[in-house]
Structure 1
């Protein structure tokens, strides 16, 4: 595949490697070693192993810790709600949308204002980090890194449950209630992680100034992206914007992510915890038992990633289809509701199978939009932004607190959203296949 020549020279800190340099920077392996199925770095040259070790340490550590604290903030609102915040503040149905540290809030109005400001500040983190990941890693590496990054949100969910179970016993200490201590401790954890991002994130290969990379390693990074056919940055022009808006990429990939983010609602809502509360379980139990769902999410996320990068040879759509099928099975059972208690536990826990394909959707997007860096950035932002826009109003219609935990509209809507997600994924698969064939013909002619 030819490499697009849309480099923006004024921002380059290092020259692009020549073809001779590319040959010397990335030694060719005669035969893939079985260790690549464990972790792809193990099957590379010592130089590339050293480079990827630094890259993983910087990007994956900061990205994962950052997303961990972001999701910890979001899940804390649910755990605080079921642990006494509802009674203390008189909160209404909008509780499921609030994600702010609010230990000092004394009324709902304060929460609304703070939530808007925090949401504005954090909105670019996930698509921004996915864009950075897509700017450094090759196809056989991309799914794992994107999914490891995404799995950190599930770790945040689990940690929040355990944290709430622990700090609830601080109720009354220094005048703070147990749920308020949850947000105080969250802040202590978050600040050092946030500051470390300024020091260690490497930006993108063509402009990086990361001190821990040597000039040769920066050339190696640029060569790796050239080998992938992944374009460098270029100026935004009206022609480019029109090209992006006239392509199916931005519309179908955004639609796919909307369906993903809004289709696994039972795992995003505290239905499991509310049901446990109705069954008479203790505060500690209703905060810790739902972490089984997030444990399943972590496990399936990593399984999806490793299978997609290795066994499926970079194909992203099979795990997405499997995820949709699991959504249909779980939500069909919960729509019926009057099912054996054991299977109800199973449905709430297996709902975690639906949450692990976000990283693969982004990895797929990076590959589909590889030839245009600005399109890749715009589509990444559009996917996240539009999916979250829908998520701000859809739960108010289908996941109403007064219907919890039965949620007759929520479970039924999730089934149809999953069907739409599967159909959209298969459409993208078809169109991407045609696109790859066209690229191959173009490359042959050149």
Structure 2
């Protein structure tokens, strides 16, 4: 630690809002900075603009790409590239494998390299590779490109959650993680409308309509990547950007000291051993791996695509692209609601996770039965998006539990996302096979089981966290 930073850490000249809690009123439940000092409110506004805004824009584009792949598949890519077997599963697996390979190394690098350099570089490479998807002539090219797209995207989401945990306090972190998570679901909603808008471009420039989706992804992402070089902050102890005044950086450092978040320390054999033998990395990884249930399989679009009425398709292309937006509208509402309610409960995360997991058990059990009322079946497809809203508070929870070790926090967040993708890499090949659509009986039964495990592990983490806090 530098002498300058050590002086900041040891200083007793904390702002009033860090020393003595201001009397809380109902406004803080609307936004957490309303009962803080003016200087802290101004600082939070700036960090929200610098970190949260650019993080949400970048994550929006990443989720847009994932949604566009599914929309492209049902909008001509399947026929153009001859994807009549399980090729969509293989494409998803290639992307997921790249994502898995890149996550932990990227977050380790992020603790040593300035985030304002590392993350924008990854985003530029990702943007170029995404636009190259429009040039694919066969599935082999698609497999290769999706692997490297996953590799370059891997550091973004866990890296942003690590940075959120490096700048925000306990009463602030869930809301920011929830907003970040909601931006991904908003992208999925936007993708359906985007597909409906660009499908008429088919033939222009020699490109089918679905290929324009990937070009639009890159065109949106590149300006965000270049702007991030100038606006995205580093860590409070290393920030050298022009966007913050020296006294604001000192405030950020003092806030993290008051919160108990530890500074960076060298990687040692004992540190690595401690991380790998702690319950943090294993239980949080299991928790996040069992979040969701469908492993990214587009169960609602494929249900709509295969639905028949009098032997003819029941839904047209626009409906197939747009109706699944209701599922992700549920995700957006849930992400915001869960974050705000969790903070209102004094930062307790587990009650909402148990609630959300129980809802999933009911929904997937109904779909496994299959022969249910059509209205309830639609409700199940739409409401299962609520569990995606728990992603934000799960990452916030991990940031809080691992606050005593900066490097553990980075690795645990990366490992959580990695394990989620490990499950997504192979499980769809077994229980979510494209040829089983739309009645994924094995998949829905598996989703019931993983949702039950999610509920159990949530309770176990809460018990172990309480025990650690007592110690």
Give the number of aligned pairs: 426
1:316 is aligned to: 349
Deviations, residues 143-173 of structure 1 (Å, cap 9, x unaligned): 0001111111101111111100111122222
Cα separation, partners in 2 of 1:379 and 1:282, compared to 1, 3 Å: same
Match among 13, 17, 25 for residue 33 of structure 1: 25
Farther off after superposition, 152-161 or 191-200: 191-200
1:154 is aligned to: 185
Deviation at 1:264, TM superposition (A): 4.3
SS of the aligned residue for 1:21 comes to coil
**Contact 2:294/2:443 (<8 A) preserved:** no
2:362 is the counterpart of 1:329: yes
Match among 435, 441, 446 for residue 413 of structure 1: 446
- Mapped partners of 1:199, 1:277: distance in 2: 44
2:140 is aligned to: 109
Match among 85, 90, 95 for residue 88 of structure 2: 95
- Mapped partners of 1:404, 1:169: distance in 2: 28
- Mapped partners of 2:277, 2:369: distance in 1: 43
1:395 is aligned to: 428
Cα separation, partners in 2 of 1:24 and 1:39, compared to 1, 3 Å: closer
2:72 is the counterpart of 1:80: yes
Deviations, residues 331-389 of structure 1 (Å, cap 9, x unaligned): 11111111111111111111111111111111111111111111111111111112212
Match among 270, 280, 288 for residue 239 of structure 1: 270
Cα separation, partners in 2 of 1:61 and 1:133, compared to 1, 3 Å: same
Deviation at 1:15, TM superposition (A): 4.3
Match among 339, 355, 364 for residue 305 of structure 1: 339
2:282 is the counterpart of 1:275: no
Alignment RMSD (CA, Å): 1.6
**Contact 1:26/1:48 (<8 A) preserved:** no
- Normalised to the residue count of structure 2, the TM-score between the two structures is 0.87
Farther off after superposition, 166-175 or 328-337: 166-175
1:373 is aligned to: 406
SS of the aligned residue for 2:12 comes to helix
Please show how residues 150-299 of structure 1 align to structure 2 within 5 Å: 150-261=181-292, 263-265=293-295, 268-279=296-307, 280-299=314-333
Deviation at 1:246, TM superposition (A): 1.8
Cα separation, partners in 2 of 1:357 and 1:195, compared to 1, 3 Å: same
SS of the aligned residue for 1:209 comes to coil
Farther off after superposition, 403-412 or 183-192: 183-192
1:9 is aligned to: 2
Deviations, residues 227-271 of structure 1 (Å, cap 9, x unaligned): 11110111111111111122111111111111115x244xx3222
Deviations, residues 169-194 of structure 1 (Å, cap 9, x unaligned): 22222321110111112221111112
Please show how residues 12-23 of structure 1 align to structure 2 within 5 Å: 15-23=7-15
1:129 is aligned to: 160
**Contact 1:14/1:219 (<8 A) preserved:** no
- Mapped partners of 2:198, 2:16: distance in 1: 55
- Mapped partners of 2:6, 2:209: distance in 1: 53
Farther off after superposition, 20-29 or 281-290: 20-29
- Normalised to the residue count of structure 1, the TM-score between the two structures is 0.92
**Contact 1:26/1:220 (<8 A) preserved:** no
Deviation at 1:94, TM superposition (A): 3.6
Deviation at 1:27, TM superposition (A): 6.5
**Contact 2:181/2:392 (<8 A) preserved:** yes
- Mapped partners of 1:124, 1:293: distance in 2: 26
- Mapped partners of 1:323, 1:25: distance in 2: 34
Cα separation, partners in 2 of 1:94 and 1:232, compared to 1, 3 Å: farther
1:441 is aligned to: none
Deviation at 1:33, TM superposition (A): 2.1
2:421 is the counterpart of 1:429: no
Deviation at 1:18, TM superposition (A): 3.5
